[in-house]
Chains A and B, each alone.
Chain A
Amino acid sequence: MPLAVHKKQYAVRELPVRHQSILEYAHFRWLKGALLLSVACAAVYIWHDPPLKPYGGTWLGYTLGTIGALLILWLVWFGVRKRRYATRVGTAQGWLSAHVYLGTALLVVATLHTGFELGWNVHTLAYVLMCLVVFSGFYGVYIYATVPHLMTANRGEDTLDGMLMRVADLDKEIREKALSLPDQILKVVNSSLDGTRIGGSFLRVYSGRDPSCPTAKAVRELPEIGKRLSGDIAKLNHEVYTLLLQKNEILLRARRDIRYKARLDLWLYFHVPLSIALLASLSVHVVSVFLYW
């Protein structure tokens, strides 16, 4: 028996050969599930004949509300599940696929639960927060569907660390070579060596740009200054210029890389806090509704 358990525990899962998007996980299993749930809820909603008008307090309203609340709790639980690397309850990919599709279905369930009755109250606050969370999630799906391709294309065979190290390496090489150049050029080159930075502030990280980058400035200015040089100095200047070009190119790519990374991360800074606020307003919604039953 222990052997069997052992085997099961370490059974090799069949992983798809081709890259498979979480959206098409297990032949769209969760898309089908979410569609089924949405269509079923909508059908019952249309069939339902409420005492006055559809709202959250009819038997269907309570049913939809319960489904919606349980869905929200389960969707929020994803934040815990995704950190449990050792768990064998489903795959992380499957959970994320279900998270996306059932989160979309929640939009249908919760909207039907409201009976399209909205106002300036905590109940609508919960609904609006839910919508914001779901739509920020949609944005996240979009980001995760597009940005990694760009990121891979931009990085190529490098890593961010490798790019940075190469910049540092180029810096050293440039510093050695530039020593023999005239003061005017050395000044421009040194400003690149001492002043070039990457990241450091939200704007620079998220935009992937540094408008005042001294390296870019040096690359722009050096050819003009270098025209007046001749002989070995001109040759050396050209070498330094080539290195600066390389550095500038790596910097562009590195900045683009951190920008992509930031785009991958930023939506979660909305998605997660809004989810927690949703949990609060959902609790208040449920308690206040029954407090003033």
Chain B
Amino acid sequence: MKLLVITQSRNRAGRTVQVKKEVNADWIRVGRAASSEVLLADPRVALNQGLILDRDGPVYTEGEVGNLTSTTKRAVRSVRLKPGSAVDVGPYKITVLDTPEGYSGAITVELVRPREDVAPEFMSRANKLTLRSLHLPKRLVALALFAVVAVVFFLLPSGRVLDLPWKGEQSIAMASDRFWNPGPVMLAHQPIELKCEACHEVAFVQVRDESCLECHQKIGHHVGQDMKPAALFQGTRCAECHRDHKGVKTTHRDDDRFCVDCHKDVRGRANGAQSQNVSDFEKDHPAFRLSIPVDKGVKRVRMGSGPIEESSNLVFPHEVHLDPKGVRHPDKDKVKLDCAACHKPDASKRTFEPVTMQKHCQECHRLEFEPAVTKRQVPHGLPGDAITVVNEFYANLALNGVKDSFEKAFGVPGEGLLRRVGQPSEAQRQNALALAGKKASQVSEELFEVRVCRACHAILKEDGPDGKPVWNVAKIRANNIWMPHARFDHKSHSQSKCADCHDVAKSKRSQDVAMPKIESCRECHAGSQPSEKKITSNCLLCHGFHEQQHPWDPGFKPKGKTRVAQGASGDR
């Protein structure tokens, strides 16, 4: 198809200018694209607006061939270009001329609505098309958010600690540093939770030990300061093990890691260490060490290397007292005793009240010295007091005794001196005194050496300065704390029988030690790793870290008024 295309426009002077072009193609493209044979250079025209095809003469068609996005995607149109007809293509008008000789057709193309000519009304109603043109705030919101966060979460709260103009301004309700609290403090610290500076005393300085020690005044070192291992802890802060704001339950880790780090080779770490290496209760915990009182102080003896005896200077066979048939009683037939008869739990129920003569023994072991005459007993305590009571009793009997008791006591006929008729002579008095003194000495000797004291005590007889014998009761070394470095709670073991751990039923001597061996504990307690049918037990289950004897810092003196005393709502 050969088509004559005349592009018609007007120059500045208003004259019509025509540009003629001969197009020879099967398909003649009409559109904005530079490759179009009929170029309609205007944004209002599609890139490939339409085609002129030869269908027994030229036909203008739109939206058919590969032009899916033209304006007329829906309104497909096809117009036969008969001479004299016209087609509107966007702002252009295509007029069909009479077909010249040698051509299939001829058209003029004219821009009838120039761009400048387009009505501005719609464009003025289409000027806010983007979020930016709507002036949606982005920077303003960003700055506002920045300012709010900075003021609410920093500037106001920091007035608590920094020297800012509004420091200490209580009236600013929002000025609370609780926004800075990273997590709940442990229960014991909750009274001071809102008083940050109780612990965080100096800004930008880590919590100092002094802050802790203000309340924890009696907390001890791990080992005695005089011992070299103390140097191991030189410069170690409380907070290195104790981290607060990590939940209400605890501030430290309840496992063996810290302990075992050193104690797996404790002798290598510290020359003065007396304990043995240990890494786990189940695997390699050494045998228990017992504290046994000796002449001077306390001796520490490790179990497992030969028999251990204590020297309490008491005579007490457990076997006799725990005889299943019972023991003799001065008033009743026989009495059956159990452990609890003597070992009474103390108020804490964790351990026991000390066994005393008065509470636990004297009901049977009465200190009667003249049972034929009286139920009186000598006082339990100093030997001298007992002898005095005996002396006074017989002296009184010699002076005032009625016939019956006089004769029973002294074994001779008679009665008290003052009960006789008339004034006693000097010889009579000396006689009565000698009788009483002789009897008293005899009874005392019997009391200490044969009958009463001797039953339970070791007795030492010496000659006194006046030639009379003096008896001394050996000092009692009763042991109440056998394992001072272990925490053992009898209450939490109350489901076990005493005999499970303390085998005393066959003990004939008071020297026998009935403390349980580590194997007994291991029947129920495993180490730090779970073990079948056993309780997982780490170091801290039985041991504490801080010794209680030594204040952490010997130079530390607590302030008169501690901060805790002011309470949670106290003034900051």
Contact = CB atoms under 8 A, between A and B. Distances in A.
A36 interface: no
Interface in A185-219: 193-194, 196-202, 205-206
Q: Which of A55, A265, A291 has the most CB of B within 10 A?
A: A291
A292 B204 CA distance: 6
A202 B134 contact: yes
Contact of B129 (A160, A169, A172): A160
Contacts of A250: 71
A123 B132 CA distance: 33
Contacts of A175: 119
A272 B138 contact: yes
Q: Which of B127, B142, B205 has the most CB of A within 10 A?
A: B142
B71 A246 contact: yes
A269 interface: yes
A193 B120 CA distance: 11
B118 A276 contact: no
Nearest to A172: B119
Contacts of B154: 122, 283-284, 287-288
A49 B115 CA distance: 75
Contacts of B121: 171, 193-194
A205 B134 contact: yes
Contact of B136 (A173, A202, A283): A202
Interface stretch (A65-73, A92-100, A151-159, A226-234): A151-159
Given A51-B243, A249-B74, A292-B180, A276 B126 contact: no
A162 interface: yes
A169 B113 contact: yes
A14 to B, nearest CB: 29
A262 interface: yes
Contacts of B180: 121-123, 288-289, 291-292
Interface residues of A, number: 74
Contacts of B133: 199
A162 B128 contact: no
B474 interface: no
B85 to A, nearest CB: 14
A137 to B, nearest CB: 15
Query: What is the interface of chain A mostly: helix, strand, loop, or mixed?
Result: helix
B44 A123 contact: no
Contact of A165 (B44, B48, B150, B257): B44
Interface stretch (B245-253, B364-372, B436-444, B449-457): B245-253
A255 B152 CA distance: 42
Interface string A104-121: 000000000000010111
B206 A280 contact: no
A157 B138 contact: no
B251 A52 contact: yes
Contacts of B73: 249
A53 B243 CA distance: 9
B161 interface: yes
B275 to A, nearest CB: 24
Contacts of A53: 246-247, 253
A200 B125 contact: yes
- In this complex, the member of A57, A117, A121 whose beta carbon has the largest number of chain B beta carbons within 10 angstroms is A121
Contact of A168 (B118, B145, B147): B118
A25 to B, nearest CB: 26
Contacts of A57: 243
A290 interface: yes
Contacts of A290: 204
Contacts of B52: none
Given A164-B126, A165-B115, A245-B75, A125 B153 contact: yes
Contacts, number: 212
A161 to B, nearest CB: 6
A184 B381 CA distance: 131
Contacts of B252: 51-52
A292 B196 contact: yes
B128 A276 contact: no
Contacts of B246: 52-53, 55, 117
A203 B144 CA distance: 24
Given A249-B73, A292-B196, A165 B43 contact: yes
A167 interface: yes
Contacts of B48: 157
Contacts of B44: 162, 165-166, 169
B75 A157 contact: no
Contact of A52 (B149, B158, B253): B253
A221 to B, nearest CB: 19
A265 B251 CA distance: 49
B122 A281 contact: no
A165 B118 CA distance: 8
A147 interface: no
B129 A293 contact: no
Contacts of A117: 182-183, 246
Interface string B457-468: 000000000000
B143 interface: yes
Contacts of A193: 121-122
B472 interface: no
A181 B148 CA distance: 62
Interface string B150-164: 100110011001100
Interface in B161-211: 161-162, 177-184, 196, 200, 203-207
A34 to B, nearest CB: 26
Contacts of B412: none
Given A197-B125, A198-B129, A269 B136 contact: yes
B126 A157 contact: no
A194 B121 CA distance: 7
Which 9 A/B pairs are nearest by Cβ-Cβ distance? A156-B69, A157-B47, A277-B145, A276-B142, A280-B149, A273-B142, A162-B43, A292-B200, A199-B129
Given A52-B243, A168-B120, 11 more contacts: A117-B182, A166-B90, A193-B122, A200-B125, A269-B131, A274-B145, A277-B145, A277-B146, A279-B146, A292-B177, A293-B207
